[in-house]
Structure 1
């Protein structure tokens, strides 16, 4: 009898460990999807040239258009609504927060080193560009475990 009880307990423990492994794999998949979305959003933002300055031969990024493009790409790639809350069926459950958005324009000397000690991020830009940091929360499948949170960082330069 004790062997049967032991066997049942071991099966339960194995199922729990297997479920935790599946949860970890889903979290890593979410991390990769989120990172790709942040990179795409930063790249889209960096391509929003200021047409008036471009006519004068100055490479510059329009900050308003850049922010709008970044938000649009984040919303499309992470399946978010207009206020960055997840839409029904999205893999996220909490709102995506843009923690840092910085446009580095022609008024800086290049190469420009962007440093953000709060998030431990440093990047060197050789021409005008955009830096984007987005906070995502992955809800665990099991309520016993705390959610996993990431500050995803991305940057891109204006391509000409």
Structure 2
């Protein structure tokens, strides 16, 4: 009888460990999913040049077009609505929040080092570029892990020659 009880208890422990492993793998997959979306968004935003300034020989990112492109790419890649709320049937469950959206334009001296102490982020841009930090929360499947939140960071430069 004690062997049956021991086998039952070991099975429960084994299933809990498998659940923890699965939850951890899902968390890492969500992090990579978010990172790829942020990278695509900053690259799209960094390519939105002000054509009028470019005609005058100045490489400058158009702020309105860049922000619109970044948000559109985040919405398409993370499958969220305009307010950051995930659409039905998507991987995420909690609201995605844009923490920082910064455009570094021709008014700065390059190479320009962007520092953000609050999110422990530093990046050096050699040309005009965009910095984006987004908060994503891990959708836990089981209650094995504590809630995990990431401030996912990304930066990109224009491809135009300066």
TM-score of the pair, normalised by structure 1: 0.98
Q: Which ranges of structure 2 fall in alignment gaps of 5 or more residues?
A: none
- Count of aligned pairs between the two proteins: 160
Pairs within 5 Å for 1:91-130: 91-130=91-130
Contact persistence 2:23–2:145 (CA under 8 A): no
Distance 1:47 1:71 in 2: 14
Match of 1:16 in 2: 16
> How far is 1:73 from its partner?
0.4
Match of 2:40 in 1: 40
TM-score of the pair, normalised by structure 2: 0.96
> How far is 1:143 from its partner?
3.3
Distance 2:146 2:96 in 1: 17
Contact persistence 2:128–2:157 (CA under 8 A): yes
> How far is 1:146 from its partner?
2.4
Distance 2:145 2:126 in 1: 43
Pairs within 5 Å for 1:51-90: 51-90=51-90
